[in-house]
């Protein structure tokens, strides 16, 4: 096998968490690489010396932008394999202008996000977070039948905004349950919706119909504040809005007003700004759950992304096309 000269470009603590056991051995078998050395900058003499010989950049969170200056220092690079999800902040048009092929492990990162979303959908259907908080505060059991007569996950409507990689994973997981799934996506047609086993709807209609709305659209100029004050007003009373995508999809000023009113509920893994001000009312509202952007790969889940990326590298070494290629045109549609 013709091992390819490979350089890791990511946060220094990541290689030991991405490439573990047999995956690390596989990496070393197909690449000439130091699996313990990761570049987090491209400007130092040491970094430039490593880049000068690299054919493959194996990247991850913390990788600097692979721009014209970086590629000038890396004239032999022919492939970028990203051991993480979103690649927008790392790969630049200069890569495609030089004919570099690009891959992402976003598929491996999509699964934990979908799993997290599924859990939140089912918990929201049972009003778990609201009831648990009240139970803790009152220290006596509420009368669930009289106080929460409409909770449950039978024949409820779940609205999926965005049939993205993650959105489709969520749809697949939801097939196990007695839930009606409605999807809004400008790139999805009726035939594709039938294949997914969902009902296709305009976004406004989805918001009116759904008991739970889960956001899975990419963050683009066209989707900024996709759910604005008007659309928030379309959501039915008592519904739950879940965001594991990007904070910019929501108008947070309008969202805060709705949540303070108590009319709807929210589970927010991402917000805008990413860290809410300490005085934001969302921290203490009983109808809001805040989590610190934890839906994606964490802990042992990083190993899945590392394995996926090494498999992609193996395909490149064998002269095969990537399983998850990224083209320049994809940047206008992906997260």
Based on the fold, state whether residues 144 and 194 are members of the same structural domain: yes
Based on the fold, state whether residues 192 and 210 are members of the same structural domain: yes
Based on the fold, state whether residues 157 and 73 are members of the same structural domain: no
Of 216, 272, 312, 315, the active-site residue reads 272
Residues ≥6 apart with Cβ < 8 Å to 278: none
Based on the fold, state whether residues 22 and 46 are members of the same structural domain: yes
Q: What is the pLDDT along the chain (335 residues), one digit of tens a residue?
A: 689 999 999 999 999 999 999 999 999 999 999 999 999 999 999 999 999 999 999 999 999 999 999 999 999 999 999 999 888 889 999 999 999 999 999 999 999 999 999 999 999 999 999 999 999 999 999 999 999 999 999 999 999 999 999 999 999 999 999 999 999 999 999 999 999 999 999 999 999 999 999 999 999 999 999 999 999 999 999 999 999 999 999 999 999 999 999 999 999 999 999 999 999 999 999 999 999 999 999 999 999 999 999 999 999 999 999 999 999 888 777 76
For the entire predicted model, the pTM comes to 0.94
Rounded Cα distance between 317 and 2, Å, is 7
- Which structural domain, as residue segments, surrounds residue 65? 4-104+299-332
Tokens linked to 192: 């594709």
Active site residue 26: no
Per-residue b/e over 191-223, b at no fewer than 16 CB within 10 Å? eebeebebbbbebeebbbbbbbbbbbbbbbeeb
Based on the fold, state whether residues 270 and 157 are members of the same structural domain: yes
Based on the fold, state whether residues 56 and 115 are members of the same structural domain: no
Based on the fold, state whether residues 174 and 275 are members of the same structural domain: yes
Of 48, 68, 293, 301, the active-site residue reads 293
Rounded Cα distance between 85 and 93, Å, is 18
Of 211, 246, 252, 315, the active-site residue reads 246
Based on the fold, state whether residues 192 and 88 are members of the same structural domain: no
Active site residue 293: yes
Tokens linked to 176: 């196990």
Rounded Cα distance between 234 and 250, Å, is 14
Active site residue 323: no
Based on the fold, state whether residues 306 and 257 are members of the same structural domain: no
Based on the fold, state whether residues 117 and 266 are members of the same structural domain: yes
Rounded Cα distance between 172 and 170, Å, is 5
**What CATH number corresponds to the domain at position 60?**
3.40.50.720
Number of domains within the chain = 2
Summarised one tens digit per residue, pLDDT across range 302-328 is: 999 999 999 999 999 999 999 999 998
Based on the fold, state whether residues 123 and 268 are members of the same structural domain: yes
Based on the fold, state whether residues 44 and 82 are members of the same structural domain: yes
Sign for the CA dihedral angle at 95, 98, 99, 100 comes to negative
């Amino acid at each position: 096998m013709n091992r390819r000269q490979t350089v890791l470009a990511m946060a220094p603590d990541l290689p030991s968490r991405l490439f573990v056991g047999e995956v690390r051995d596989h990496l070393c078998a197909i690449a000439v690489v130091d699996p313990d050395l990761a570049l987090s900058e491209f400007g130092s003499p040491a970094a430039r010396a490593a880049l000068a010989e690299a054919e493959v950049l194996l990247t991850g969170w913390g990788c600097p932008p692979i721009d014209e200056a970086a590629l000038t220092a890396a004239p032999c690079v022919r492939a970028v394999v990203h051991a993480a999800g979103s690649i927008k902040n790392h790969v630049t048009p200069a890569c495609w202008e030089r004919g570099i092929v690009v891959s992402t492990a976003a598929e491996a990162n999509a699964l934990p996000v979908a799993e997290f979303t599924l859990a939140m959908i089912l918990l929201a259907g049972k009003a778990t977070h609201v009831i648990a908080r009240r139970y803790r505060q009152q220290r006596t059991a509420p009368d669930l039948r009289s106080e929460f007569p409409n909770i449950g996950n039978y024949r409820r409507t779940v609205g999926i905004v965005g049939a993205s990689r993650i959105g489709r994973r969520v749809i697949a997981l939801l097939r196990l349950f007695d839930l009606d799934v409605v999807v809004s996506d400008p790139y999805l047609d009726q035939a594709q919706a039938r294949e997914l086993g969902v009902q296709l709807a305009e976004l406004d209609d989805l918001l009116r119909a759904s008991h739970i709305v889960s956001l899975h659209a990419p963050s683009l100029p066209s989707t900024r504040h996709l759910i604005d004050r008007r659309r928030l007003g379309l959501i039915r009373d008592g519904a739950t809005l879940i965001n594991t995508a990007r904070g910019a999809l929501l108008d947070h000023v309008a969202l805060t007003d709705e949540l303070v009113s108590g009319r709807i509920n929210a589970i927010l893994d991402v917000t805008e700004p990413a860290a809410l001000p300490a005085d934001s009312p969302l921290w203490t509202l009983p109808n809001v759950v805040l989590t610190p952007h934890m839906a994606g790969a964490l802990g042992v889940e990083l190993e899945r992304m590392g394995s996926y990326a090494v498999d992609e590298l193996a395909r490149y070494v064998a002269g095969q096309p990537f399983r998850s290629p990224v083209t320049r045109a994809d940047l206008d549609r992906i997260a």
